Amino acid sequence: MKILFYMPHADAAAWLHDFARALPEADLREWQPGDTAPADFAVVWRPPREMLAGRDDLRAIFNLGAGVDAILALEHEQPGTLPRNAQLIRLEDTGMGSQMAEYVTHAVLRYLRRFDEYHTLQNERCWHVLDPHPRETFTVGVLGLGVLGAQVAQTVAGFGMPVRGYSRSARQIDGIATFAGDAQFDAFLDGVKVLVNLLPHTPDTRDVLNARTFAKLARGAYLINVARGGHLVEADLLEALASGQLAAATLDVFREEPLPPDHPFWQEPRITITPHISALTLREDSVEQVARKIEALMRGDSVSGVVNLERGY
């Protein structure tokens, strides 16, 4: 079978080498502009429209990440871009769950133990003991209880804080208070001290981190956004920090990436910035998962991780 590969800024030779080992019978090539030769599968991250448009020979498109918003945006901007019969399949975990759990746990514990404030005090050469945050009211709310959100919620709960989770359909997870659907959104937010966002970016979730959402949280709450920049209304975050409704935020994703040098977030000491690294795509795990799914599809079996195009995730 013929497989097209496209992943900007990646070591394409290394990926193709690993795919060749995992699928010795495959005919693999890196897509180059102008390549319209037949292919059965595409393995991509943020592909250009030209790569996918009109490729009705494709059986499946494998997205080399969990979020498929960039691919679906191509279809949204120009309907008919995505091949008619190809399934869109995203990565499921592939080592991202544990990375995300580490990142979010680190940020939650940093705020719980007030290390962010001790760092400021150190810069002022100030020896001062702050009152600890009471753990029993340091409620962590995780938006999204999918592959990544569920792991994050369970890991954080292991540190003894109350943890809530929010999803579209009802979920049950040991030790987590779960809420589902629009009707339970406000109850989920009520009194949350740390809001963690792990929702997919869809028309339903765009701008969900806004002034109304922040107002429902506990006074002096914290925000951790590790999903997509399009979830956050940036001006509302700056206002919530200025008013004291939010105490601080850790942001891994931004509306514009890389974050432009003149962006006001760089100047706000209560915002911690990382360059979209909370959960990286790991080559070995990803090649293994995609290769096994390609084999399954070749046998005529169904696979998990197929994106529902109507829902957008």
Q: Return the residue of 87, 245, 278, 286 that touches ligand NAP, per CB under 6 A.
A: 278
Give yes or no for residue 146 binding ligand NAP (CB under 6 A): yes
Window 271 to 290, contacts with ligand GLV (CB under 6 A)? 281
CA distance 154 to 157: 5
Give yes or no for residue 229 binding ligand GLV (CB under 6 A): no
Q: How many CB atoms lie within 10 A of CB 287?
A: 23
Decide: helix, strand or coil at residue 306: strand
Q: Return the residue of 65, 149, 230, 312 that touches ligand GLV, per CB under 6 A.
A: 65
Structure tokens at 184: 């339970």
Q: Return the residue of 83, 141, 162, 200 that touches ligand NAP, per CB under 6 A.
A: 200
Closest CA to 114 of 128, 100, 104, 98: 128
Among the listed ranges 53-61, 63-71, 132-140, 165-173, the one in contact with ligand GLV (CB under 6 A) is: 63-71
Q: Return the residue of 39, 52, 67, 230 that touches ligand NAP, per CB under 6 A.
A: 67
Beta strands in 108-153 (DSSP E): 140-143
Residue closest to ligand NAP when measured from CB atoms: 146
Structure tokens at 53: 């448009």
AA letter at 120: T
Closest CA to 143 of 174, 175, 111, 168: 168
**Chain residues in the site for ligand NAP (CB under 6 A):** 66-67, 96, 144-149, 166-169, 171, 198-202, 204-205, 226-228, 252-253, 276, 278-279, 313
**Chain residues in the site for ligand GLV (CB under 6 A):** 65-67, 281
